[in-house]
Amino acid sequence: MEVVRTVLLEKIYQDNGVPVHALHGITVSIEKGEFTVFAGPSGSGKTTLLNMIGALDAPTRGSVFFDREDLATKTRSELATLRLNKIGFIFQAYNLIPVLTAIENVEFTMMLLGISETERKRRALRAMEELGIADLARKRPNEMSGGQQQRVAVARAIVTDPAVILADEPTANLDSVTGAALLDLMERMNREKNITFIFSSHDPQVIQRGRRLILLRDGHVESDSHGRAQPS
């Protein structure tokens, strides 16, 4: 079942009055349960494409469909609701709130959704236990390692059971061992919960893990190939 589709997607930025084409007519379809990587060098358009899919930015031309609904027909409020309910975000900078504890960071999206405090805490703790970080519940971000902070970010992303998780360079600030452990965890979430993962990355170990690799160059799709089989 298709969860995301882009049709002739273009994005043009203005750089001191000069138009810069970040995306050129990108058409791609992502199915439920995929573990897909957008790869390419810096400036290839992979993060821009991820932002379009996540309704964080609007295309100059073309369309993005999420669950077969055209995002261009949605109001800003409806897009915010879509992001809260159906999309989990994982960023390379973690984007945790410094003054909140780990469990409060995991609860944050649920708080915005109006979920009761008791239910928030139950679901947050369950997600943290699944990821092996329940012992970090009362620690603040500055008391955690980079790998621990990224696991908290993953817990925050999965706690609402989103249809899709968008991960922008999630291993960029991690050493290779910690990055591999994080990818193991994401593969398990994909396999056990059938969550669709879409990555933007130029990290070789992320690219190697992808079961589908979409290579971008200068805003164009250079290749689209399916790689290794789903892990058992």
d(CA 219, CA 11): 9
Alpha helices in 54-175 (DSSP H): 76-86, 102-112, 117-130, 146-158
Q: Are strands 61-66 and 69-70 parallel, antiparallel or unpaired?
A: antiparallel
How does pLDDT run across 134-169, given as a tens digit for each residue? 999 999 999 999 889 988 998 898 888 888 999 998
So what's the pLDDT on residue 118?
Answer: 94
Q: Is the pTM of this model over 0.85?
A: yes
What average pLDDT does range 197-224 have in this prediction? 94
How does pLDDT run across 91-139, given as a tens digit for each residue? 877 889 999 999 999 999 899 888 999 999 999 998 898 888 999 999 9
Domain 34-48+76-226 fold is: Rossmann fold (3.40.50)
Scored b (16 or more CB within 10 A) or e, 192-231 reads eeebbbbbbbbbeebbebbbbbbbbeebebeeeeeeeeee
